[in-house]
Amino acid sequence: MEAFMDAIVKPVAGPGLELRRVPVPEPGPGEVLIKIHKTAICGTDVHIYNWDPWAAEHIKPPMTIGHEYVGEIAKLGDGVKGLKIGQRVSGEGHITCHQCRNCHTGNIQWCKYTKSVGVDRDGAFAEYVCIPATNVILIDPELDEDVVAFFDAFGNATHTALMFDLVGEDVLITGAGPIGIIAAGICRFAGARRVIITDLNDDRLELARKMGVDAAVNTLRDDLPRIMKEKKLTEGFDVGLEMSGSGAALQQMIQNMRNGGKISLLGISNKPVPMDMNTIITKGLTLQGIYGRKMDNWHQMSYMVQAGLDLTPVITHRFHYTEFEQGFAAMNSGKSGKVILDWSTKK
Ligand code: NAD
Ligand code: ZN
């Protein structure tokens, strides 16, 4: 007899989401069924909820969305070895081909054929999700599940922040969204000298202050070079983490880097961004695109948390999954950090 579960579904092309009863997926050969405990809402889910042009191009309804989660193994498909029912897990959301040159050399973050959970196939905003066993990440059951729920986003922040050396360096983060704020915590934790974050939204800058930044700068109002001087930055930033997707923010970053500085680009823009080529060239800047996570970032995340990195200040809202509308309203308000949905109890 077919079993059914609750899932947050994009039912048809257009704004909104619906809580529906859908069949529990059956793990095929090499796949694992995960019972979801907690999920977190990502900016991508908000694009899908709002049905912006990106969502209209990429999402094929009806489908279950969501890709930030923690749960436990509920069932193993044929041929899965080394995993056990009941183990605490999360999952790498990028399902890669395992055959291309990048996959073969361990650089799965650059696989050309990546498919994303909750975007290209059914996601984790449900009582169960099914993923390939190779994407399952074992999680220490002692870690706080509310934090593990957003390890996917923490992974983006880790990948971006740890791309270049941080010890004793001065770091500029543009964009104090959840990922920028998490990155600020990582930079602080990893030994940066100064961590300065910019945004245009005071609520988000306030959250960033809770992560222990040296300055949270509203660039609509405050003068970044003046604050740099106050914080004893004499030559500019050593490392830049672009986490806003704004061309204006990138331009400001390029202008305020020191010669030889290094920039990681995570923020995705919805339109082409003009580049100040001449400044990049004459300053000898390095610009590195960042996509997804490296598999090794998953270990780094668990270990950073175990070593004392506290990301709980990023969590601003917790709801039961049946209250998902409130969760998306919080995300759309621009006042939220991470929003957690609880799937571990029935209402
Ligand atoms: P978010 O949209 O919640 O945060 C972006 C922040 O940038 C907002 O707080 C916004 O007010 C701020 N901002 C806008 N213009 C700015 C400016 N001129 N200067 C400073 N700040 C400005 O996004 P998020 O969920 O934190 O993600 C960060 C970015 O990373 C987004 O662009 C997202 O699309 C992107 N992303 C990329 C990947 C990847 O694999 N490359 C993965 C996840 C997210
Ligand atoms: Zn590949």
Name residue 315's amino acid.
I
Residue 1 has a pLDDT of: 67
pLDDT of amino acid 346: 86
Q: Are residues 126 and 212 in the same domain?
A: no
Alpha carbon 271 to chain centroid distance?
Answer: 21
Q: Which atom of ligand 1 is nearest to the CA of 291?
A: 40
In a domain, 210, yes or no: yes
**Same domain (yes/no): 20, 130:** yes
Q: Is the CB of 91 under 6 A from ligand 1?
A: no
Q: Is residue 165 part of a domain?
A: yes
**Does the beta carbon of 67 lie inside 6 Å of ligand 1?**
no
Q: Is residue 212 part of a domain?
A: yes
H or E element: which one contains 7? strand 4-10
Asked, for residue 347, whether it belongs to a domain, the answer is no
Pair (113, 214) in one structural domain: no
Same domain membership, residue 143 and residue 165: no
Q: Which of 223, 266, 311 to mutate to test the pocket of ligand 1 (most atoms within 8 A of CB)?
A: 266
Long-range contacts of 332-335 (CB under 8 A, 24+ apart): 332/46, 332/49, 332/50, 334/201, 334/203, 334/204, 335/203, 335/204
Full domain range(s) for residue 179:
158-289
Q: What is the CATH number of the domain that holds 244?
A: 3.40.50.720
Does 71 lie in the same domain as 175?
no
CA 58 to ligand 2 centroid distance, Å:
20
DSSP assignment of 104-155: HTT-GGG-TT-EEBTTTB--SSBSEEEEEGGGEEE--TTS-HHHHTTHHHHH
pTM: 0.97
18 plus 127 within the same structural domain:
yes
Euclidean distance between CA atoms 149 and 145, whole angstroms:
6
Closest Cα to atom 32 of ligand 1? 267
Evaluate: CB of 253 within 6 angstroms of ligand 1: no
Has residue 84 been placed in a domain?
Answer: yes
Q: How far is the CA of 107 from the centre of ligand 2 (A)?
A: 8
Looking at the structure, do residues 207 and 273 belong to the same domain, yes or no? Answer: yes
Substitution candidate for ligand 1 out of 179, 186, 220, 250 with most atoms within 8 A of CB: 179
Same-domain check for residues 171 and 141: no
What local confidence, expressed as pLDDT, does residue 109 receive?
94
Any domain includes 104: yes
Strand segments (E) across 140-254: 170-174, 194-199, 215-218, 237-242
Is the domain of 63 the same as that of 29?
A: yes
The CB of 43 under 6 Å from ligand 1? The reply is yes
Whether residues 244 and 315 share a domain: the answer is no
The pLDDT score that the predictor gives to residue 154 is: 98
Based on the number of CB atoms within 10 Å of its own CB, is 174 exposed (0-12), middle (13-18) or buried (19 or more)?
A: buried
Say yes or no: 206 and 225 in one domain.
yes
Is the CB of 93 inside a 6 Å radius of any atom of ligand 1? no
Task: Going residue by residue through the chain, which has 347 residues, state the pLDDT in tens, using 9 for 90 and above.
Answer: 689 999 999 999 999 999 999 999 999 999 999 999 999 999 999 999 999 999 999 999 999 999 999 999 999 999 999 999 999 999 999 999 999 999 999 999 999 999 999 999 999 999 999 999 999 999 999 999 999 999 999 999 999 999 999 999 999 999 999 999 999 999 999 999 999 999 999 999 999 999 999 999 999 999 999 999 999 999 999 999 999 999 999 999 999 999 999 999 999 998 999 999 999 999 999 999 999 999 999 999 999 999 999 999 999 999 999 999 999 999 999 999 999 999 999 88
For the question of residue 44 being annotated catalytic, the response is yes
Q: What is the pLDDT, as a whole number, of residue 347? A: 82
Q: Is 240 in the pocket of ligand 1 (CB under 6 A)?
A: no
Q: Whose CA is nearest to atom 3 of ligand 1?
A: 177
Q: How many Å lie between the centroid of ligand 2 and the Cα of residue 37?
A: 30
**Amino acid 168: pLDDT:** 98
pLDDT of residue 213: 98
Same domain, 123 and 168: no
The total number of structural domains in the chain stands at 2
If you count them, how many residues does the chain have? 347
